[in-house]
């Protein structure tokens, strides 16, 4: 579209707006009917540790939402000399899980307890056993039941439990709803009904003596494309204090960041998946059927249209890599050498490709935190080698990169070997894949499956929820996977790398050492305070 066509689309409201509240940034993206980004805005924020609880205040939520939207409006005005007053549809996405509860008057009962808190071990274990279904500590139902076990007085007054995306959507529209993908991190979903599992609901209600029933306090579950209300007049002022945006704009169901990541990488169809690799790393694999049994290492969630998804989640990915590269940068600065950060990453990442396929006998653990998949309670970044190891820069970088995806490999092997999950292709996005080819090639070797990186992978979840808003407008009678394949990604640029046989064999050798050496990491956790 040329500039005048874009101006016309803006004036007619032939656009959709997506806003995602991530852990460190809130981003707003405005797209046209061709799903191209017209403008964006962002706001940086950080969680706070208050009384040993990781949280964000609701005032910070509102402030950040308004700041990101205002930045987007400013860009629209600068680029197109127009004041944004209407959009065709609006969508909200945010970090999944956590604990946000309110009483009958809509007053917040407890601080927002985010996904990052690991204070629900007792509740998660009890619920997992009761449901015969893995309930991770970060899930909303684990937080709710832990509050009950802790005899917190506020539990008696709970009238509404929701996620961050569900809360913001409620403020904008008055509707207490969640997209099924986000809801799948609140309470287990029955993929046959795209709703909460009724038997588990009944089982939970038999486990407590509060006056409320669980079904009554949970948001209504919606699927992608469903009507999720409209922007109210109060919602306009919550988002845009200047009141320039029109009320009555349709909203799509609010979704979690995992769901919008699947949308943004076109990985919502069966036998596909995506890997998000940044500070943490996780793989989302769309299943053809439910898993045969419970695996504590694997979370079961859903696509935005309710298909079952197996999620292998690891708390640490690139943090140790980044620390090493920062060290190398300090060495260069000590010699009065200055190099652009992107060039530093490019050169050092690429050096890994010339290293020994198994890392030359080096062993690294990238654990900045505990890892459920390897049953590690805490983390200590660690580098170990034999005196005779081939200790070179190339091997160090290859080992550090391999370490960043090794725990994910263990989780994925559970799906492959114990469940027979078939995977035809994986889409990669996130910082690990920014340097061309390197992370992609090693990930293909680790998972032994082709890995694709798209040109649009950097657009992120805000673009993903904007696409879901577009699907709400234009996708009537069409499945989400067909809409994405035929309308959004039909001509998308991408690079697919097949796994190299020598790289595969080398990574297998590395993994043998990695698994054998896990006790070294456990000893470090035990003895290094």
Q: What is the pLDDT of residue 225?
A: 97
Measured on CA atoms in the order 177, 183, 186, 190, is the torsion positive or negative?
A: positive
CA angle 400, 402, 405 (to 5 degrees): 110
**Integer CA distances (angstroms), 438 to 119, 445, 497, in order:** 37, 11, 10
Name beta bridge partners: 43. 26
Burial (Cβ within 10 Å: 0-12, 13-18, ≥19) of residue 444: buried
Q: State residue 284's pLDDT score.
A: 92
Digitized pLDDT (tens) for each residue of the chain, 529 residues in all:
899 999 999 999 999 999 999 988 999 999 999 999 999 999 999 999 899 899 999 999 999 999 999 999 999 999 999 999 999 999 999 999 999 999 999 999 999 999 888 899 999 999 999 999 999 999 999 999 999 999 999 999 999 999 999 999 999 999 999 999 999 999 999 989 999 999 999 999 999 999 999 999 999 999 999 999 999 999 999 999 999 999 999 999 999 998 998 999 999 988 889 998 888 898 999 998 888 899 988 999 999 999 999 999 898 899 999 999 999 999 999 999 989 999 999 999 999 999 999 999 999 999 988 898 998 988 999 999 999 999 999 999 999 999 999 999 999 999 999 999 988 889 998 889 989 999 999 999 999 999 999 887 667 899 999 999 999 999 988 999 999 999 999 888 899 999 999 999 999 999 999 999 999 999 999 999 8
CA-CA-CA-CA dihedral for 391, 394, 397, 398, to nearest 10:
-100
| Residue 3 backbone phi and psi in degrees, to 5 | -60, -40
Asked if 352 and 394 touch (Cβ cutoff 8 Å), the reply is yes
Q: Which residues pair with 196 in a beta bridge?
A: 189
Give SS3 for 447: helix
What is the rounded CA–CA span in Å between residue 334 and residue 312? 41
Of the chain, the end-to-end C-alpha distance in Å amounts to 58
pTM of the predicted model as reported, rounded to 2 decimal places: 0.88
Domain ranges of the chain: 265-457+509-529
pLDDT attached to residue 422: 86
Read off φ and ψ for residue 53, nearest 5 degrees: -120, 125
Q: How many C-beta atoms surround the C-beta of residue 211 within 10 A?
A: 9
**pLDDT, position 105:** 97
Phi and psi at residue 92, in whole multiples of 5°? -120, 135
Q: What integer pLDDT is reported at residue 431 of this predicted model?
A: 84
Phi, psi (degrees; rounded to nearest 5) at 318: -95, 0
**Do the Cβ atoms of 370 and 297 come closer than 8 Å?**
no
**β-strands 255-256, 89-94: how paired?**
parallel
Nearest-5° Cα angle at 410, 458 to 506: 85
Could you give the angle at which helices 121-131 and 198-205 cross, rounded to 10 degrees? 120
Q: What is the Cα–Cα distance from 54 to 148, expressed in whole angstroms? A: 19
What string of DSSP letters covers 95-158? ----BEEE-TTS-B-S--B-TT----HHHHHHHHHHHTS---TTSHHHHHHHHHHTT-GGGGG-
Say if domain 265-457+509-529 classifies as CATH 3.40.50.20: no
* Distance, CA of 439 to CA of 446 (rounded, Å): 10
Structure token digits, residue 525 = 């956790």
d(CA 13, CA 285): 35
State the CB neighbour count (10 A cutoff) for residue 500. 15
């Amino acid at each position: 579209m040329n500039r005048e066509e874009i101006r016309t689309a803006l004036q007619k409201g032939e656009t959709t707006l997506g806003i995602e509240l991530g852990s460190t940034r809130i981003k707003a993206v405005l797209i046209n009917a061709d799903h191209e980004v017209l403008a964006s805005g962002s706001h940086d924020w950080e969680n706070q540790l208050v009384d040993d609880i990781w949280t964000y205040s609701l005032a910070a939520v509102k402030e950040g939402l308004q700041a990101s939207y205002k930045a987007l409006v400013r860009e629209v005005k600068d680029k197109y000399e127009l004041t944004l007053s209407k959009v065709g549809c609006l969508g909200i996405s945010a970090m999944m899980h956590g604990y946000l509860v309110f009483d009958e008057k809509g007053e917040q009962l407890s601080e927002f307890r985010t996904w990052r808190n690991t204070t629900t071990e007792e509740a998660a274990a009890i619920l997992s056993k009761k449901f015969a279904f893995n309930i991770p500590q970060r899930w909303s139902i684990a937080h709710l039941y832990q509050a009950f076990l802790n005899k917190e007085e506020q539990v008696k007054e709970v009238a509404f439990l929701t996620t961050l995306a569900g809360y913001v959507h409620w403020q904008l529209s008055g509707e207490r709803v969640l997209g099924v993908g986000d809801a799948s991190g609140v309470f287990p979903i029955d993929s046959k009904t795209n709703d909460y599992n009724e038997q588990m609901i009944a089982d939970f209600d038999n486990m407590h003596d509060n006056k409320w029933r669980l079904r009554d306090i949970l948001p209504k579950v919606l699927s992608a494309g469903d009507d999720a209300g409209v922007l109210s007049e109060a919602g306009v002022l919550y988002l845009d204090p200047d009141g320039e945006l029109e009320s009555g704009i349709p909203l799509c169901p609010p979704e979690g960041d995992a769901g919008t990541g699947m949308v943004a990488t076109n990985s919502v169809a069966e036998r596909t998946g995506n890997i998000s690799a940044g500070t943490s790393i996780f793989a989302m694999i769309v299943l053809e059927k439910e898993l045969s049994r419970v695996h504590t290492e694997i979370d079961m969630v859903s696509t935005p249209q309710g298909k079952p998804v197996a999620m292998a989640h690891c708390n640490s990915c690139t943090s140790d890599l980044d620390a090493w590269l920062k060290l190398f940068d300090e060495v260069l600065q000590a010699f009065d050498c200055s190099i652009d950060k992107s060039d530093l990453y490019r050169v050092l990442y690429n050096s890994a490709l010339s290293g020994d396929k198994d890392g030359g006998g080096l062993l690294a653990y990238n654990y900045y935190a505990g890892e459920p998949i390897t049953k590690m309670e805490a983390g200590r970044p660690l580098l170990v080698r034999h005196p005779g190891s081939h200790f070179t820069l190339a091997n160090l970088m290859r080992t550090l990169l391999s370490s960043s995806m090794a725990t994910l490999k263990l989780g994925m092997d559970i799906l492959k070997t114990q469940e027979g999950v078939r995977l035809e292709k994986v889409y990669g996005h996130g910082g690990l894949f920014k340097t061309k080819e390197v992370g992609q090639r090693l990930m293909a070797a680790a998972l032994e499956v082709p890995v694709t990186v798209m040109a649009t992978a950097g657009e992120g979840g805000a673009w993903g929820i904007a696409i879901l808003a577009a699907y709400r407008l234009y996708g009537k009678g069409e499945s989400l996977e067909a809409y994405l394949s035929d309308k959004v990604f039909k001509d998308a640029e991408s690079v697919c790398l097949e796994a190299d046989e020598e790289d595969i064999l080398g990574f297998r050798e590395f993994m043998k050492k990695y698994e054998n050496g896990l006790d070294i990491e456990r000893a470090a956790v035990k003895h290094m305070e």
